[in-house]
Chain A
Amino acid sequence: MGGRVNQQLARYVPALLLALLLLGPILALLVRWLSSSDDIPLLAFINAGTLLLVGKSLLLSCIVAVLASLMGTICGFLLYRLKFPFRGFYKILLLLPLLVPPYIFAVAWKDGFQWLFSNSTVINPELGMIIVHTLVLFPLAMLITGTALSQIHSGLEEAGLMRVSFRKMLVKIVLPLIRPALTISFLLILIISLSDFSVPAFFGVNNFTTEIFTQFSAFYNHQLAISQSFLLVILCLILLLSENRYLSDAPFFSVHVKGSSTKHYSVHKGKTILHILLWILLLVVLVLPLVMLLHQALSGREILFSRAWELLSPTIYQSAKLAFLGALLISAIGFWVAFMKERSHFPHLNTMLLLTFIIPSTVLGVAVIKFYNHPSTNFIYTSILILLITYVSRFGFIAARIIGNGIKQVPVSLDEVSRVIGIPPIKRFFSISIPLLLPAIFTAFVLSFVLCLGELGTTIMIYPPGTELMPVKIFTIGANAPLALTSSMTLISFGVTMIFILLFFLMGKLIFKRFRYE
Chain B
Amino acid sequence: MNKISLEHITHRYGDNKVLEDFSFSFEEAKTTCMIGPSGCGKTSILRLISGLEAPQKGIIKINETVATENEKILIRPHKRKIGFVFQDLALWPHFTVFRNIAFGLKGRKTEKVSHQVTQILNLFGIADKAKKYPHQLSGGQKQMVAIARSLVHQPEIFLMDEPLANIDVKVKENILAHIKLLQQEFRFTMLYVTHDHQEAMQTGDKILVMNEGVIEAAGTKKEIENSSNHFVRSFIKL
Chain A contacts to B: CB under 8 angstroms:
153, 155-156, 158-166, 172-173, 176-177, 179, 251-255, 260
Contacts and interface: CB of A to CB of B under 8 A. Distances in A.
Interface of B: 50, 52, 76-78, 82-84, 86-94, 103-104, 133-135, 149-150, 153
A163 B135 contact: no
B93 A255 contact: yes
A251 B92 CA distance: 13
A165 B90 contact: no
Question: Across chains A and B, which 10 residue pairs bring their CB atoms closest together, nearest first?
Answer: A163-B104, A155-B90, A159-B90, A252-B93, A161-B77, A155-B86, A176-B94, A164-B104, A162-B84, A158-B52
A164 B94 contact: no
Contacts of A176: 94
A254 B135 contact: yes
A405 to B, nearest CB: 15
A158 B86 CA distance: 9
B74 to A, nearest CB: 12
26 contacts: A155-B86, A155-B90, A156-B93, A158-B50, A158-B86, A159-B84, A159-B92, A160-B104, A161-B52, A161-B76, A162-B50, A162-B82, A162-B84, A162-B150, A163-B103, A163-B153, A164-B78, A172-B103, A177-B92, A177-B94, A252-B93, A252-B94, A252-B134, A254-B93, A254-B135, A255-B93
Contacts of B94: 176-177, 179, 252-253
Which one of A163, A172, A176, A179 has the highest number of Cβ atoms from chain B below 10 Å of its Cβ? A163
A259 to B, nearest CB: 10
A159 B135 contact: no
Contacts, number: 67
Contacts of A163: 78, 103-104, 153
A165 B94 CA distance: 19
Nearest to A176: B94
A153 B135 contact: no
B86 A159 contact: yes
A156 B103 contact: no
Contact of B76 (A153, A158, A159, A165): A165
B67 to A, nearest CB: 14
A159 B104 CA distance: 11
Contacts of A158: 50, 52, 77, 84, 86, 90
B109 to A, nearest CB: 14
Contact of B77 (A153, A155, A162, A177): A162
Contacts of A165: 76, 78
A160 B93 CA distance: 13
B92 A162 contact: no
Contact of B90 (A153, A172, A179): A153
A254 B149 CA distance: 22
Which one of A155, A160, A253 has the highest number of Cβ atoms from chain B below 10 Å of its Cβ? A155
B78 A252 contact: no
A155 B150 CA distance: 14
B44 to A, nearest CB: 13
Contacts of B90: 153, 155-156, 158-159
A195 to B, nearest CB: 32
Contacts of A254: 93, 135
B178 to A, nearest CB: 20
